[in-house]
Each structure stands twice: as C-alpha cells, then as structure tokens.
Amino acid sequence: MAPNFSFSRLIQLIRKQWIENNRLYLFSTLALLGLLGLGFIIWLVASNDKFDETNIYVIFTLCIYIAGTIFAGMSFGMLGEKRKGVYWLGFPASHLEKLICIIFYNVIVFSVVYYLCFMLVKTLAVAYVLNLVAADPAKYQFRHMDWNSGFGSAYAYFIYGFYSVQAFYLLGAVYFSRFSYLLTTGIGAALFFIFMWFCISLMSGKLPAGYGWGGFSVMKYNNYVPGPDTINKYQLPGLYTDSISFLLKFIWAPVFWVVAWYRLKEKQI
Amino acid sequence: MVTIQNLHFAYKKKMVFNGLSLSLQPGFIYGLLGKNGTGKSTLLRNIAGLLFPRQGSIKVFNAIPGKRNPSFLQQVFMVPEEFFLPDISIEKFVKCNAPFYPGFNRGQFDGYLKEFAIPMDHSLQQMSYGQTKKVLIAFGLACNTSLLLMDEPTNGLDILSKSQFRKIIAGATDENKCIIICTHQVKDLENLIDRVCIIDDGKILFDQPMAHITSKLQFKISFDGNETKNALYSEAALQGDAIIAPNIDGEEGRMDLEMLYKAIVLNGGGIRSVFDKQ
C-alpha cells in the first residue's frame, strides 16, 4: 500500500512539475528580469545623480512582493479549470506531496531565482553608478544603506513578512478557483486594516491615564523628572516575549500552508 | 470492487443523485447510459474521488475515493470527456507520469500508440483532439489500473479509430480489471459492453448483464400489427416495426442497445417486469 507521504514520490513530483512547466518558469524569469530592470531604470533616472543604496533594497522588497504574490497566486491555477483540475487532483500523489511540491517551487526555487536575477541586475546597475561616481565624484554620489536605522533596521521584517504574504496568496489560490489574486488581495487588505485598527485601538484607548505601551511592556509614568522613579515598567518574562515575537514573525506561513493543505483535501472538481 | 450505497449528491441546490446504489465487479466492461444531465460524468467523478457524496457511501477497493490516497489513485485512471495534457512530447509525458503508476507497461503503451497510428515526434498540444485523446487512452490502458473510467471515449475519434478502440479495449480486459464507460454513442460500444446501467432521475433505472438481456428480450423487425401492439416497445423502421418483446423461445439474438435505452426510458416498468419474473 502506497504511504501518504513518500520522499521519492515527492522528488518525482518535483521533477514532473519542472518538465511540464519549465517553459512557463523560463518566461517568468525573463519577465522578472524585465520587472527588476524597469525598477532599476526608474531608480537611476529618479535619483538625480545622488544614488542611495537604500532605494535598491526598496526595489528588491517591492518587486519580491509583486512577483512572489503573482507567482503564488498562479500556483494552483489548474484548480480553476475543470479539465486541468481533474488532471492534477486525480494524479497519484497525496495532497501533502502536491502541496510541498508547490511550496518548494514558490519558496525555494522562486527565492533563489529572484535573488539571482536581482543580484545580476543590481550588480550591473551599481557597477554603472560606481563608474559614474569614479568619473565625476563631485557630481555623482553613492550612499550605502544604513542597516541600523530606518528601512535598513526593518528590512528583515519585510522579508519575514514576504513569506507570510506569499503563503497567504498560496492559500487564496487554493480557496478561490477564479480571480484568486484579486480576491486574496482584497481580503488581505481588509484583514490588514482590521488588524491595524485593532492595534491602534489597543494602543490608544485601553490603558488608564499615565500608562503607555513600550513594545510588549506597559510603562507607568510617575513623574517627568528623569531618575530611577520616572517609569515603572511592567513586562512579561523574556521567554514569553521572545516566544510571542518569534511566533509573530515566523508562524504565519506554516499556518497558511496547513490551512491550504486542509482546503486542498476538501477540493472538489 | 466498487460499492455505491444510497448516494446523494447535488451541485448547490440541484439534486443529481437521490439514493443511488450500485455495485460493480472486476472482470466486466460496464456501459453507463443516461440522458443529458442525469449525472453520468458526475458519478464517474464521485467514483474517482473528485467529488464527495452529500450522503451515502462509495467504496472502491474498500477505500474511500474522496480521501484521494496515492494507493487508491494508483489503481484508478480516468479518461474524462474534456481532458488536459501538458504541452510536452509523448516521451516526456511518459517519463514524468509513468513512474506514478506501478502497473505501467511501456511495451503495451508503444503497442497501443502503434495501433492508433500516433506520431511520437509531435508535442501533445500540436496534435489534434482525437490524437491526444488516443494518447491518453493508450496511456490509461498501459497503466493497467484495476479501475478504468472513461467518459465518452469515442467522442472525437474517427471511424477507424473507433474500431481500433473497440479492439484494444476488448484485448485489455481481464478478470481483475473493471472498466466503466459513459457514453451516448451506444452503437460504438454495443458489442464491447458486458453490462448495461441506465441512470435516470438520480437513480439506477436498469442494471443488467448483456447476456441476460438477450436471453430475456428479443429484438426484431415485425410486420405483424398484433405483435407490434403487444410488444414491450416498438418504433417505426424502414420496413415494418422494430420491436422489443419478451424472449419466449429462449434463443439469444442480436441486441440493439439504442432501442433498449429508449424502451427503458419510455416503458421502464414493462421491461423491468420481464427481468423480475423468474
């Protein structure tokens, strides 16, 4: 009796997915290069001779969100068409194997290809800029990104967030047979606004006067003279705050994948 | 092999099956007939695990199809009416799909393709509908699954291909395999089917083996007005009347599946009463 999960069958499935879709992936890579190229051209033109590396990483983040969510949204596209859905759902592999195969291409293959494409375009663009700076340092400037402040310090969270958003779009692709990208975007935006409203209400309205939030801790302001009695800080033990912080950063993608797995099992064609 | 008990299924509010029960055994080719929209394709997809019953149960090899376990899917192959094949060569298609079916036989596959006269060097999307269908049929047969489901398999096939199809299917059956064919093209498959199932109004209207049908019913042309009047079913033919009458002599004759279908739908009670008598 074939087990519900077989590593060798998963490898064969990944190989099958590649053989059947390699042309699509190749054209998608070319489109990605075009998108990144366009982003860099805009950066070069809009920088007005004062080039900031921070904007390169803004382009990286923007483009990975756009390209990654589109790719994720297309991943279960075969479920939107009856004949393709019969072909895909009726194929002798378990739902888990099929899902892992899709996750493999979305998370690992997409990330590697995206990073390589980005590095290729970035290397060319930065080399061009550095040539300009070397030729005329009075006119052209290139500022490196500050990883300790501003966008640089928040950069990692954008990347964690990307994988959560990508998993959300994968889930949307399983849930919605048609217009999945638009519906997922709409629902995601609505959830985001509800979450922000909740956070703002929580932050602004739920504490008595003289109290305020400081991350995961509550501060009580005793007086305005700096000193040891200025603030009383109430906080959860470090283990709890670290655990909550870890979960908030990394739990979303696995949660969405698990929900997608259950939804896939319920899918009917 | 396939046991369906009290199956209830609906698309949103449209009821399709209302307590359908059916048992299918290996070693037979079943012909599933019915009017448009009676649920023939839906029944096949329920058996394949692509749709789930609202009520009742379906068991295939003692497994629940809806769970779509690999061990179940490896033993079932469906040739749907509207099918999809990726835009790759036949060789690549076999390379990436055959390993998932433990019973796949490359020699058989090549033999079927040769029988169907399919060129190996074209990609699947470059072929006509009929050609890709033949590739899919060949692959499905070569997988040697215990259960083969076919929805209108002769649609899109030319006359010669239909004859080749009949020959190939007849040669592919064995005592361990069950083949279920949904079709309107009864003339194409009349001589192939072992057992006839007719669905109507969400239930099985008629379910009998062909041999039993021909032993109980007589299909003939009559020029006798009284005989026509007393027949279970009659329709005007080019000469005389084509009738279905009880087979009193017990001699097995030819069978007209199309006429039987019409008779069941229009005078099901009369036909069934012949079979109810022992």
DSSP run (H or E) holding A226: none
Residues in chain B predicted with pLDDT less than 70, given as ranges, are: 278
**Secondary structure class of A233 (helix, strand, coil):** strand
pLDDT score of B45: 94
If you average pLDDT over residues A111-117, what whole number do you get?
A: 95
Q: How far apart are the C-alpha atoms of A169 and A150, rounded to whole Å?
A: 28
DSSP designation for B193: -
Average per-residue pLDDT for chain A: 88
d(CA B1, CA B58): 10
Give the mean model confidence (pLDDT) for residues A147-173.
89
Nearest to A269 among B50, B95, B97 (CB): B50
Query: pLDDT value at position A206?
Result: 65
Contact A126, A140 (CB under 8 A): no
Alpha-carbon gap, residue B3 to B5, rounded angstroms: 6
- Measure the N-to-C terminal CA separation of chain B; round to a whole number of Å: 27
pLDDT at residue B197 in the model: 92
Which A residues, 83 through 142, put their C-beta within 8 Å of a C-beta on chain B?
83-87, 89-95, 97
One DSSP character per residue, B198-222 reads EEETTEEEEEEEHHHHHHHEEEEEE
Query: Residue A128: pLDDT band by 50, 70, 90 thresholds?
Result: very high
For the segment A250-268, what is each residue's pLDDT rounded down to a tens digit? 899 999 999 999 999 999 9
Strand ranges (E), A147-248:
211-214, 217-221, 231-235
> In chain B, what are the helix, strand and coil shares in percent, each to the nearest 5?
40, 30, 35
CATH fold for domain B2-201: Rossmann fold (3.40.50)
Give the per-residue pLDDT at A37.
Answer: 92
Encoded tokens for A23: 């042309």
Instruction: Compare CB distances from B68 to A1, A16, A95 and report the shortest one's residue.
Output: A95
State how far residue B128 is from chain A, nearest Cα, in angstroms: 17
* Alpha-carbon distance A54 to nearest alpha carbon in chain B (angstroms): 43
ipTM: 0.87
Residue with tokens 């969405």: A256
Q: Is residue A216 part of a domain?
A: no
Most distant CA atoms of chain A, gap in Å: 75
Residue A19 with chain B: CB contacts under 8 Å:
88, 92, 95-96
Would residue A250 count as lying in a domain?
no
pLDDT class of A174 with cuts at 50, 70, 90? very high
The Cα–Cα gap between A173 and A72 comes to 7
Contact flag A19-B78 (C-beta cutoff 8 Å) = no
Chain A residue numbers with beta carbons less than 8 Å from the beta carbon of B97 are 16, 91
Phi, psi of A202 (to 5 degrees): -65, -45
Strand partners, B147: B76, B178
Nearest to A91 among B45, B87, B100 (CB): B100
Q: What is the pLDDT of residue B265?
A: 86
Nearest-angstrom CA–CA distance, B36 and B4: 21
Strands A231-235 and A217-221: what pairing?
Answer: antiparallel
What pLDDT does B59 receive? 94
- Per DSSP, the three-state class of B33 is strand
Contacts of A21 in chain B (CB under 8 A): 86
**Residue range(s) defining the domain that contains residue A187:** 7-201
Whether the pLDDT of residue A166 is over 80: the answer is yes
Q: Is A92 in Cβ contact with B70 (below 8 Å)? A: yes
Residues of A within 8 A of B71 (CB-CB) are 1-2
- Nearest residue on chain A to B124, judged by CA atoms? A20
Interface residues on B facing A, Cβ-Cβ cutoff 8 A:
45, 48-52, 67-71, 73-74, 76, 78, 80, 82-88, 92, 95-97, 99-101
Q: Which residue has the higher pLDDT, B47 or A200?
A: B47
Alpha carbons B243 and B223: distance in angstroms, whole number? 10
Block residue for tokens 């509207």 = B82
φ, ψ for residue A55 (rounded to 5)? Answer: -65, -30
- Supply the angle between the helices B106-116 and B129-142 in degrees, to the nearest 10: 150
pLDDT tens profile A204-234: 666 677 777 766 677 776 666 666 666 677 7
Q: What is the DSSP string of A119-166?
A: HHHHHHHHHHHHHHHHH-TTT-EEE---TTSHHHHHHHHHHHHHHHHH
Which neighbouring-strand residues pair with B8? B18, B55
Which residues of chain B are in CATH 3.40.50.300 domains? Answer: 2-201
Confidence (pLDDT) at B235: 87
The helix/strand/coil state of B119 is coil
